[in-house]
């Protein structure tokens, strides 16, 4: 998404006002593009960045990464750190250029040295995860701190996370709460989710389900799938609220729509057990299958159980063994127990599953 500073907003509003005038152009888009191009060509750095953004995302113009690169580099020549950050993204993602994480890190560093909070934050990410630079929690912490003090909400979240779990710094819950609250105040849904988790589990604070629910709900309403799932857990398992399977299903379904593997699995479980909905093994298998394809180990075991018990016909008999084996490989102790059981071993022999099929097909509805 294109970020607008106040100066860029003023530029964009001016262009929109121009577009509202009857200019005789075939389209308002072409008029806006011509005017923005003229500004960029005259050496206006803000216009150069704006034009590069338009070409990068295909806004008012056909997407053209080569032209985006050209105008970002023009803006870089005038020391606009925003252009350096965008060039870093393009090199990191390999868009219009050969993917080069080391080059991406260099652009982020250039932006950071120019005082860009985004540049400092992304440089911190490079250090934390060893992207184009040697992994260093110490350097990541420094970069995050710089960006956080420049009011970068995402950096504040990452800094809070590092203090909460003691990554590269002694664990400090009070400092973690300080930065996470700062980030949440700027609307960062991940920070709100983590705050909810701290009060839910709890982690470093006194357990407070009401506080947890408040933060989960705030993040869930912003569309955060983890918050949606964790809020569903509260209703599903009566964590500080009366058990309400219907509410649990509402929030699981929202998270599942974003391919959250645990939410997909729990949707299957509600249908399998008939919790808050009419029991439906085929519908349970449908949800389990989606989660299993995302390597959710509980779903792999649950789906295999449905097949093994005959509640739902397996697309192929040996799918039972494939699923148990995948779940066991993914660390599910229940799947390992199933594989060691006499009944499953007999099933394996009876269906000659020494060489099980490699894929699991979605069961017919």
User: At 134, which CATH number?
Assistant: 1.25.40.10
Confidence of residue 144 (pLDDT cuts 50, 70, 90): very high
13 or 349, greater pLDDT:
349
Task: Give the mean model confidence (pLDDT) for residues 228-255.
Answer: 98
27 plus 66 within the same structural domain: yes
Indicate whether 216 belongs to any domain: no
Answer yes or no: is 239 within a domain: no
Q: pLDDT at position 29, please?
A: 75
Show which of 186, 203, 226 is a domain's final residue. 186
- Residue 27 pLDDT > 60: no
Q: CB under 8 Å to 320, separation ≥6 — which residues?
A: 304, 307, 308, 314, 344, 347, 351, 353
pLDDT of 121 over the 80 cut: yes
Q: What is the mean pLDDT of residues 221-226?
A: 98
Structural domain harbouring 17: 1-78
pLDDT at 21: 46
Helix axes 245-256, 225-236, angle to 10 degrees: 160
pLDDT on residue 15: 55
State both tokens at 218: 């705030």
Tokens standing for residue 211? 């506080």
> Looking at residues 194-199, what average pLDDT do you find?
98
Say yes or no to pLDDT of 8 above 90: no
End of a domain among 28, 46, 78? 78
Q: Looking at residue 363, what is its pLDDT?
A: 52
Q: Which among 266, 261, 323, 331 is positioned nearest to 294, based on CA atoms?
A: 261
- Indicate if 39 and 74 belong to the same structural domain: yes
**pLDDT higher for 54 or 31?**
54
Asked whether residue 95 is assigned to any structural domain, the reply reads no
Specify the length of the chain in residues. Answer: 365
pLDDT band at 26 (very low <50, low <70, confident <90, very high): very low
Q: Give the separation between CA 249 and CA 321, rounded to whole angstroms.
A: 30
User: Residue 83: CB partners within 8 Å, gap ≥ 6?
Assistant: 45, 48, 49, 52, 72, 73, 74, 75, 76
Per-residue buried b or exposed e for 6-35, using 16+ beta carbons within 10 Å of the residue's own CB: eebeebbeebeeebeeeeeeeebeebbbeb
Residue 85 lies in a domain: no
Q: Domain count for the chain, please give it.
A: 2
Of 33-37, 96-100, 351-355, which range is least confident?
Answer: 351-355
Task: Indicate the residue among 186, 214, 229 that finishes a domain.
Answer: 186
Q: Are residues 106 and 179 in the same domain?
A: yes
Q: Mark whether 123 and 48 lie in a shared domain.
A: no
Shared domain check, 68 and 15:
yes
The answer to the question of residue 283 being in a domain is no
- What gap in Å lies between CA 209 and CA 180, rounded to an integer? 18
Is the pLDDT reported for residue 223 higher than 90?
A: yes
Query: Within this chain, do residues 59 and 113 fall inside the same structural domain, yes or no?
Result: no
pLDDT at 17 exceeding the cut of 60: no
Specify whether 125 is located in the same domain as 176. yes
Between 16-20, 186-190, 211-215, 353-357, the lowest mean confidence (pLDDT) is in 16-20
Judgement on whether residues 123 and 182 belong to the same structural domain of the protein: yes
Residues 109, 70 share a domain: no
Say what angle helices 319-329 and 342-350 make with each other, to 10 degrees.
Answer: 130
Residue percentage of the chain with pLDDT more than 90: 86
Quote the crossing angle between the two packed helices 45-57 and 6-19, to the nearest 10°: 70
State mean pLDDT over 48-57. 96
Domain shared by 65 and 7, yes or no? yes
- Reply yes or no: is the peptide bond before residue 108 cis, omega within 30 of 0: no
Please tell me the predicted confidence (pLDDT) of residue 28: 67
Confidence of residue 14 (pLDDT cuts 50, 70, 90): low
Q: What is the pLDDT of residue 4?
A: 47
pLDDT at 30: 84
96 domain residue, yes or no: no
245 in any annotated domain? no
Residue 274 belongs to some domain of the structure = no
Q: Is the pTM of this model over 0.75?
A: yes
- Give the residue-averaged pLDDT of 233-243: 97
Residue 191 · residue 184 · CB < 8 Å:
yes
């Amino acid at each position: 998404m294109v970020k607008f500073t106040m100066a860029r907003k003023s530029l964009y509003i001016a262009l929109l006002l121009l577009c509202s005038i009857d200019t005789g152009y075939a389209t308002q888009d072409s008029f806006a593009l011509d005017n923005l191009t003229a500004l960029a060509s005259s050496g206006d750095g803000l216009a150069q960045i704006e034009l590069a953004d338009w070409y990068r995302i295909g806004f008012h113009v056909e997407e053209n990464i080569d032209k985006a690169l050209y105008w970002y580099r023009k803006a870089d020549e005038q020391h606009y750190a925003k252009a350096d950050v965008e060039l870093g993204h393009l090199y990191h993602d390999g868009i219009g250029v050969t993917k080069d994480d080391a080059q991406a890190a260099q652009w982020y560093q250039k932006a950071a040295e120019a005082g860009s909070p985004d540049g400092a934050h992304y440089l911190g990410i490079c250090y934390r995860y060893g992207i184009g630079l040697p992994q260093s929690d110490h350097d990541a912490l420094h970069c995050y701190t710089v960006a956080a003090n420049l009011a970068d909400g995402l950096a504040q979240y990452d800094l809070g996370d590092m203090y909460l779990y003691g990554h590269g710094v002694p664990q400090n819950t009070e400092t973690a709460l300080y930065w996470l609250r700062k980030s949440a105040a700027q609307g960062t849904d991940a920070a709100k989710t983590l705050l909810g988790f701290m009060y839910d589990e709890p982690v470093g604070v006194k357990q407070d389900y009401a506080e947890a629910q408040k933060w989960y709900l705030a993040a869930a309403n912003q569309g955060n799938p983890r918050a949606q799932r964790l809020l569903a857990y509260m209703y599903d398992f009566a964590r500080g609220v009366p058990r309400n399977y219907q509410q649990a299903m509402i929030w699981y379904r929202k998270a599942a729509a974003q391919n959250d593997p645990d939410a997909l699995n729990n949707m299957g479980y509600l249908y399998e057990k008939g919790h808050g909905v009419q029991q439906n093994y085929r519908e349970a298998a449908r949800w389990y299958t989606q989660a299993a394809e995302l390597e959710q180990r509980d779903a792999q075991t649950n789906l295999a159980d449905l097949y093994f018990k005959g509640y739902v016909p397996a697309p192929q008999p040996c799918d039972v063994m494939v699923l148990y084996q995948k779940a066991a490989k993914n660390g599910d102790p229940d799947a390992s127990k199933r594989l060691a059981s006499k009944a499953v071993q007999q099933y394996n022999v009876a269906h000659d599953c020494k060489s099980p099929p490699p894929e699991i097909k979605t069961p017919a509805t």
